[in-house]
C-alpha cells in the first residue's frame, strides 16, 4: 500500500532522491534533511502506514524490522552502544510526515526529557 502524495512513499519508490544508507526487503533508511544530531537517519517501512501504532497493528513483523534496521544503521554509523530511537505519532508529538518512521539519532549527548 502506498499513498501518491506521501513524501516517504515517493522516496521509497525512487521518485524523490535521498541519501539511502541501508535498505531491506521491508525498510529503507535515509539521512534526515534537517538533522538534529551528527547522525540522524530515518527508517521507514516500504508499506505506507500513517504512524507506528498503525504499522504495528497491520504488520508487527514490519514494525520489528524497523527496529532491526535502526540498530544496524546505528552500528554502521559507529554508535554501537549510544544512540536514540524516536517514533513521533501525531502532529502534537512532532510528526510532520504521516508515514510511519523511526528516527535514529547519535553522535552527541541527549538530555531527558527530550522535548
Within 10 angstroms of residue 93's Cβ, the number of other Cβ atoms is 11
Verify whether residue 101 is a known catalytic residue: yes
What are the residues facing 22 on neighbouring strands? 29
Spatial separation of the C-alpha atoms in residues 67 and 8, rounded to whole Å: 17
Q: Which one of the listed residues 48, 79, 101, 103 is annotated catalytic?
A: 101
Kindly list the catalytic residues: 101
Amino acid at each position: 500500500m502506498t499513498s501518491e502524495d506521501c513524501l516517504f512513499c515517493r522516496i521509497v519508490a525512487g521518485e524523490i532522491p535521498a541519501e539511502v544508507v541501508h535498505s531491506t526487503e521491508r525498510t529503507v533508511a535515509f539521512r534526515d534533511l534537517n538533522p538534529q544530531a551528527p547522525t540522524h537517519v530515518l527508517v521507514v517501512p516500504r508499506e505506507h502506514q500513517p504512524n507506528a501504532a498503525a504499522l504495528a497493528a497491520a504488520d508487527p513483523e514490519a514494525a520489528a524490522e524497523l527496529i532491526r534496521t535502526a540498530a544496524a544503521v546505528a552500528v554502521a554509523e559507529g554508535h554501537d552502544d549510544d544512540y536514540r530511537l524516536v517514533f513521533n505519532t501525531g502532529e502534537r508529538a512532532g510528526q510532520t510526515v504521516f508515514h510511519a518512521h523511526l528516527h535514529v539519532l547519535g553522535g552527541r549527548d541527549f538530555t531527558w526529557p527530550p522535548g
